Amino acid sequence: MLILLKAESFFVDITYVQSAVAKGAVCLDGSPPAYHFDKGFGAGINNWIVHIEGGGWCNNATTCLARKSTRLGSSKQMAKQVVFSGIFSNKPKFNPDFYNWNRIKVRYCDGASFTGDVEEVDPTTKLYYRGARIFVAIIEDLLAKGMKNAQNAILSGCSAGGLTSILHCDNFKSLLPLSTKVKCFADAGFFINAKDVSGASHIEGFYNDVVTTHGSAKNLPRYCTSRMKPSLCFFPQNMVQGIQTPLFLVNAAYDSWQSIAKAVGDWYYDRSPFKKIDCPYPCDKTCHNRVFDDNEHPLI
């Protein structure tokens, strides 16, 4: 398995969006936002996949201050290179549909799934809540680097980044040319408003604090905020029905090993409206669903 992963993966350097600083589109600590970009080639030169990094949220000044000195709140703390593999692989063997696309990993440093926008900066904490500005600034930077000519584009994300890809799905499409075929893909980003084991609505209160702290209400879908409390629109279950752009959801339905690149390709290219990418529980006696197909994943 290690040999396989080594053959598939490679490192991509970080790109800092210095022009975003003048727009106030900055991380929690005021540093510029960043992403990692592997340029497309051949037939994929005008196709783009923009993936948003995950990392939870901060819901008040205390928790946001804790993030401020980490990679989740400052581009100064981010690794200068990250590994690209799976759906970001540049090898057709591992990523048959997207290997030659422009592939971008957007770093997450605002703490509110790129929804916040508070103009004032507290002189004591010096925290910047500017996630919504970061999202637009990064897309504008990518448009200038060729995405303005995109024929196909995907906005994807994992966990908190998956939530971003849901909340910003239609916004992403609106920033691209009308002729671009756009779809969104959320990996483990459909967070449900459910009570915890104690019977308390912890996540509802937590999301309310996130939305309040970051001033996110104005950046959440108006078709949702017009009919319910804005923080409830942070839950996909309350706003996903209004999304006009095709959206693919993956939530706890596959294991840590099995590749999903082909399944996403089948969905994006309309080869199938539904793809099963894991076996039913219990898949085997290990309960880990790690069943390898030597024909599909030979060790090389």
Local structure of 266: helix, strand or coil: helix
User: CA 69 to CA 71: how far, in whole Å?
Assistant: 7
* pLDDT computed for residue 269 by the predictor: 74
The pTM (predicted TM-score) of the whole model is 0.84
User: CA 198 to CA 201: how far, in whole Å?
Assistant: 9
Question: Count of CB atoms within 10 A of residue 293's CB?
Answer: 9
What's the token pair of residue 175?
């920033």
pLDDT, one tens digit per residue, over 32-88 is 999 999 999 999 999 999 999 999 999 999 999 999 999 999 999 999 999 999 999
Find the helix or strand (DSSP H, E) in which 212 lies: helix 202-214
CB 218 within 8 A of CB 131: no
pLDDT band at 260 (very low <50, low <70, confident <90, very high): low
Mean pLDDT over all residues of the chain? Answer: 88
Which region among 4-13, 80-89, 97-106, 207-216 has the lowest average model confidence (pLDDT)?
A: 4-13
How do the residues of the chain divide into helix, strand and coil, expressed in percent and rounded to 5? 35, 15, 50
Write down the CATH number for the domain with range 2-268: 3.40.50
What's the token pair of residue 276?
């099963």
3-state secondary structure 122-172: CCCCCCCCCHHHHHHHHHHHHHHCCHHHCCEEEEEEECHHHHHHHHCHHHH
What's the token pair of residue 163?
């939530």
User: CA 291 to CA 258: how far, in whole Å?
Assistant: 8
Question: Count of CB atoms within 10 A of residue 235's CB?
Answer: 21
pLDDT, one tens digit per residue, over 77-128 is 999 999 999 999 999 999 999 999 999 999 999 999 999 999 999 899 999 9
pLDDT, one tens digit per residue, over 143-193 is 999 999 999 999 999 999 999 999 999 999 999 999 999 999 999 999 999
CB 138 within 8 A of CB 106: yes
Buried b (16+ CB within 10 A) or exposed e, 107-138: bbbbbbbbbbbbeeeeeeeebbbbbbbbbbbb
